[in-house]
Amino acid sequence: MEVERSSGTIVSIPFNGHKIDALFYHIRTNREHLENKPILLRFHGVLGNLLDETEHFLPSLLAARGYSSLSMNTLLANLGIFFGFGIFDETMQQIDQAFEYLRDWGFKRTVIAGHGLGGCMAIRYAAMRSDPSSCPELQGVVAIATPYSLPETVRRRWDRFGSLPSYEEVYQRAQKVMKPKLGEEPVPDEPFMVKRAHGPTVRPEHTDVYTYKTWWALASPEAEGTQVHKHIGRIKAPILLVHGLEDSVVDNGETEDLGRIAKESGNTDVTELYLQADHTFEGKHEELAEIVLAWLGERY
């Protein structure tokens, strides 16, 4: 089957009076492609597609081999975490809307994929839609550099660099916003910065910015949605877990543990693959694409 590769197109998907921005790489071909070949619905890492290198490389590499993809931003992208409306579990409704958009295009099969935080979103969504009748198009999950539990990953990173304020200090402040004690006046939500969150300096590139509500839903001990190990066992669709052996953010054992939980829960199609790469897969994007393409080719 001959396909024509098109360049990426920015699309806007209506959602609750607003819009979802996404990069659509659509392979213009015949009905057989829409019926039988899956499209990849891709989720960003921290701060959206702006900082995720895989978003710049994978869509074109997949398109060159005949796979369409839709890389969407969510409430967590860009300014959502900074201004209080980026609540993790509320992104699930946006993903529903993206599925509706792809149905309207005629796609019958969708594989969801994410890197880092995006992997957390993919696994959470697939667990929520594990009943085939609720989302029959969902045919697989690709989770790249995905933590066992995002709150523990954040805590471990902040402790390693001596964050200011500390994880425990942020948790105590966030409790006053989200769960004030009996008789205690609720504290209004507000943005805050955490210095030395990503490295040993107080420079902007080593700084995290949240509001207490967005941090609570994403990285606090109460953040159920991003505790991936609690959800992956509910997924019935095929799962591909990819990890970089030089990843300084997610430990090697976390991918092994997630794969073990999925298999022990009865999923008979769970694949774990490793590359000699860091967390961003810098310089390894073609190898990463080959892994994803081989996995797709074996199943679809």
Output phi, psi for 154, to 5 deg. Answer: -65, -45
| Alpha-helical regions (H) of 49-147 | 53-63, 80-83, 91-105, 117-128
Output phi, psi for 144, to 5 deg. Answer: -110, 130
Are 248 and 280 in contact by the 8 Å Cβ rule? The answer is no
Residues 6+ apart with CB under 8 A from 178: 212, 213, 216, 222
Beta bridge partners of 193: 209
Are 300 and 38 in contact by the 8 Å Cβ rule? The answer is yes
DSSP letter, residue 29? -
pLDDT digits (tens, 9 = 90+) for 134-155: 899 999 999 999 999 999 999 9
pLDDT digits (tens, 9 = 90+) for 184-193: 888 899 999 9
Shortest CA distance to 137 belongs to which of 125, 152, 121?
125
Shortest CA distance to 281 belongs to which of 59, 55, 68, 70?
55
Write down all domains in the chain, each with its CATH number in brackets: 9-149+227-299 (3.40.50.1820), 151-219 (no CATH)
Exposure of 222 in the CB half-sphere (CA atoms within 13 A): 15
Per-residue pLDDT band for 5 (boundaries 50, 70, 90) equals very low
- 3-state DSSP call for residue 24? strand
> How many CB atoms are closer than 10 A to CB 261?
18
pTM above 0.75, yes or no: yes
pLDDT digits (tens, 9 = 90+) for 59-109: 888 888 889 999 999 998 877 888 888 999 999 999 999 999 999 988 999
